[in-house]
Amino acid sequence: MERLLRNRWALVVALALILAALPLVFPSNYYFRVAALVNIFALAAIGLNLLMGYAGQVSLGHAGFMGIGAYAVAIGASRFGLNGAVAMLAGAAMAGLLAFLVGRPILRLKGHYLAVATLGLGLLISMVLTNEAGWTGGPDGMAVPRLELFGTRLRGPDTWYMITAGALVLGVILALNLIESPTGRAMRAIHDSEIAARVVGVDVAAYKLKIFVISAVYASIAGSLMAFLNGHITPDGTAGFLRSVELVTMVVLGGLGSVLGAIVGAAMLVILPQALTIFHEYEHLLLGLIIMASMILLPRGVIPSLLARLRGGGA
Amino acid sequence: MPELLQFAFSGLTVGAVYALVALGFTLIYNASDVVNFAQGEFVMLGGMITVFLHLAGLPIPVAAFAAILITVLVGLALYAFAIDLARGSGAVQIIIITIGASIFLRGVAQVIFDKRFHALPAWFGSEPIRLGGAAILPQSLVVLAGAALIVALIFLMIDRTILGRAILATATNRLAARLVGIPVRRIVALSFALSAAIGAVAGLLVTPITLTSYDVGTLMALKGFAAAMLGGMGSAPGAIVGGVLLGLAESFGAGLISSKYKDAIAFLIILFTLFVRPQGLFGKRSTERV
């Protein structure tokens, strides 16, 4: 079991099989919708986990990049008449460019300072989305035109479940490749000790920047997919501080530095509140409790704890 | 000219509140290295509990006292049931716990109270005082005086009492403090209680001017943190100066540049500080040991 969890291609195949099999047991569209949301947040969490788990940099403003991706497809399609897919790529390019521009100064910071700087960045993005109502519809948000590919309009949660599942598998493959590449090794070196990494000749700043840009692109794509799935977006729902907190919690809850962990964390944090919607009034109360409890009880994350237990059991 | 004076007064008032939040941050940070994102919720609780106890028929001074007491208990509970349990976790985990606590407290407030805005009557009426063409609310003076009093009390306590010395010792070197027999965990709990009390007082002082609702805490915490950083993390005088400067910058920025982006000003300042002088105005430059 442990070797299975460690083997990266086994992980990809298992994930693809599970994602392909799930529709067989889904009784209604609602399940497709929730599962598509899991895929989307898992994609964003994988990107953020590259930054947090491998490069060791926290970002409390990552939902800002999701917001850029979401609004890129909404504005690109409705105001500029772009095809949704083109707008999605444009959004990813913009998110990457923004990350590239602000990344170098921000990533010089550490610990709490980095947390607050990224938080400020996310807040600024969501503030722009809220205030520039002429473009974005303000706090009430805007409608997202349906994506049209090869003459067919893509609609319905089942269609979007398939698309997001494909995107997730692709995202996992890219992330695993990156982790096994020289960049991945450099990132792990940075995570273990920045100074030691610098001493052995790793260009720390350049690698951090690279990962920051990659994770921003992941988040932006996830944001675009969420916009297509929901058909309507708001600044709070895409770029809000709460979203950023949820993303960070998914990463830590699943396990820092574990691609599988990011998926598990995303699934837990998307499904748990859905299962608890009967307590609608208590939404924030429960979310806060879930976040606190998971950090206190599983500070190392689900997957690393599980791996440690398996290893302990095998010995 | 009168406008500038007006901006200065409103900036000072808001700044005094930011300074109190930043001071609360600093107390906890110094005692435990914890960055408490739930600090803004203390401000919210101070205001909201007073409002609702007053609505329930208690006279305002009694309601205010009870609000401070309850908030202190919440602060202690936050330490005992969350922070203390997570001892030894990484900085990121602790940050997420305090953010979770802030979301939780907001959720509780939303259920127990409601989602509307609430006001308290001003202490000495709301007839503005005219001064050089600017209008000053009497409550602004109450906020300034109250903030000054709290700051003076905290500084006196830290400077003149054994307890204050113990807090200072804990902040300087936790291990050494424990070795000389200071009950470090109790000191940390005390810092949570103190900082909750300061937040609650800030909340009930400012509610007559800015109103309060279940969700005022988030921005308050972020700005208090911004103020603490501007002044230099861990420096109590820095927290005060940072808070006042932030309040002034916001007020002038909103008045002269754009009120839509008033809340952005705080973060532009903070990003600028981080890049230019990360240790803040009063902070010590830290070097990393390998």
Q: Residue A299 belongs to a domain with what CATH number? A: 1.10.3470
B36 and chain A in contact, CB less than 8 A: no
Find the residue in B nearest to A253 (Cα). Answer: B93
Helix (H, G, I), strand (E, B) or coil at B58: coil
Q: Is B60 left (phi over 0), alpha (psi -120 to 50) or beta?
A: alpha
Q: In this structure, is the dihedral angle defined by the CA atoms of residues A216, A220, A222 and A223, taken in order, positive or negative?
A: positive
A298 and chain B in contact, CB less than 8 A: no
Check pLDDT > 70 for residue A3: no
Q: Which of A106, A195, A296 sits opposite B290 (nearest CB)?
A: A195
Tell me the pLDDT tens digit for each residue of A243-260.
Answer: 998 899 899 888 888 889
Check pLDDT > 80 for residue A221: yes
- In the block, tokens 């307590």 appear at A279
**pLDDT mean over A177-191:** 85
For residues A228 and B25, what is the distance between their CA atoms, to the nearest angstrom? 41
Helix (H, G, I), strand (E, B) or coil at A257: coil
Q: Does residue A289 contact residue B103 with C-beta atoms inside 8 Å?
A: no
Higher pLDDT, A117 or B249: B249
Q: Which two tokens stand for residue A19?
A: 């994602």
Question: Taking CB atoms and an 8 Å limit, are B271 and A121 in contact across chains?
Answer: yes
Question: Taking CB atoms and an 8 Å limit, are A296 and B260 in contact across chains?
Answer: no
Q: Does residue A58 contact residue A108 with C-beta atoms inside 8 Å?
A: no
What range does the domain containing A89 cover? Answer: 2-314
Higher pLDDT, A144 or B245: B245
Q: State the nearest Cα–Cα gap between A5 and chain B, in angstroms.
A: 25
Find the residue in B nearest to A52 (Cα). Answer: B92
Q: How confident is the model at residue A5 (pLDDT cuts 50, 70, 90)?
A: low
Q: State the nearest Cα–Cα gap between A130 and chain B, in angstroms.
A: 10
Whole-model pTM: value is: 0.87
Q: How confident is the model at residue A45 (pLDDT cuts 50, 70, 90)?
A: very high
Q: What is the pLDDT of residue B105?
A: 95
Higher pLDDT, A299 or A212: A212
Q: What is the pLDDT of residue B286?
A: 60
Contacts of B100 in chain A (CB under 8 A): 245, 249, 287-292, 295
Size of interface A-B (CB pairs under 8 A): 124
Interface pTM (ipTM) of the complex? 0.86
Q: State the nearest Cα–Cα gap between A152 and chain B, in angstroms.
A: 41
Averaged confidence pLDDT in chain B: 88
Q: Within chain B, what is the greatest distance between any pair of CA atoms?
A: 60
For residues B151 and B205, what is the distance between their CA atoms, to the nearest angstrom? 14
Q: Could you tell me which of A52, A15, A72, A49 has the C-alpha nearest to residue A228? A: A72
Q: Which of A116, A119, A299 sits opposite B86 (nearest CB)?
A: A299
> Which range scores top for mean pLDDT: A68-77, B123-132, B274-283?
A68-77
Q: Which of A113, A193, A296 sits opposite B97 (nearest CB)?
A: A296
| Domains in chain A, number | 1
**pLDDT mean over B72-93:** 89
For testing the chain A interface, which of B44, B230, B274 should be mutated: the one with the most A CBs within 10 Å? B274
Contacts of A119 in chain B (CB under 8 A): 222
Q: What is the pLDDT of residue B77?
A: 95
Q: What is the pLDDT of residue A314?
A: 46
Check pLDDT > 80 for residue B287: no
Question: Taking CB atoms and an 8 Å limit, are A112 and B271 in contact across chains?
Answer: no
Q: What is the pLDDT of residue A315?
A: 39
Q: State the nearest Cα–Cα gap between B74 and chain A, in angstroms.
A: 15
**pLDDT mean over B249-262:** 84
Cβ-based neighbour number of residue A181 at 10 Å: 11
Q: Out of A91-100, B56-65, B81-90, pick the least confident.
A: B81-90
B286 and chain A in contact, CB less than 8 A: no
Q: Does residue B262 contact residue B35 with C-beta atoms inside 8 Å?
A: no
Q: Which of B85, B110, B263 sits opposite A284 (nearest CB)?
A: B110
Question: Taking CB atoms and an 8 Å limit, are A288 and B100 in contact across chains?
Answer: yes
Tell me the pLDDT tens digit for each residue of B126-163.
Answer: 788 887 778 888 889 999 999 999 999 999 998 889 98
Helix and strand element counts for chain A (H, E): 16, 4
Q: Where are the alpha helices (DSSP H) in chain B?
A: 2-32, 39-55, 60-78, 91-112, 138-160, 162-172, 174-179, 184-210, 217-231, 236-256, 262-276
Tell me the pLDDT tens digit for each residue of B11-55.
Answer: 999 999 999 999 999 999 988 888 898 999 999 999 999 999 999
Question: Taking CB atoms and an 8 Å limit, are B86 and A295 in contact across chains?
Answer: yes
Check pLDDT > 60 for residue A16: yes
Q: Could you tell me which of B163, B194, B283, B172 has the C-alpha nearest to residue B233? A: B283
Q: Of all residues in chain B, what percent carry a pLDDT higher than 90?
A: 46
Q: What is the pLDDT of residue A313?
A: 57
A139 and chain B in contact, CB less than 8 A: no
Phi, psi of B135 (to 5 degrees): -105, 125
For residues A307 and A15, what is the distance between their CA atoms, to the nearest angstrom? 18
Check pLDDT > 50 for residue B92: yes
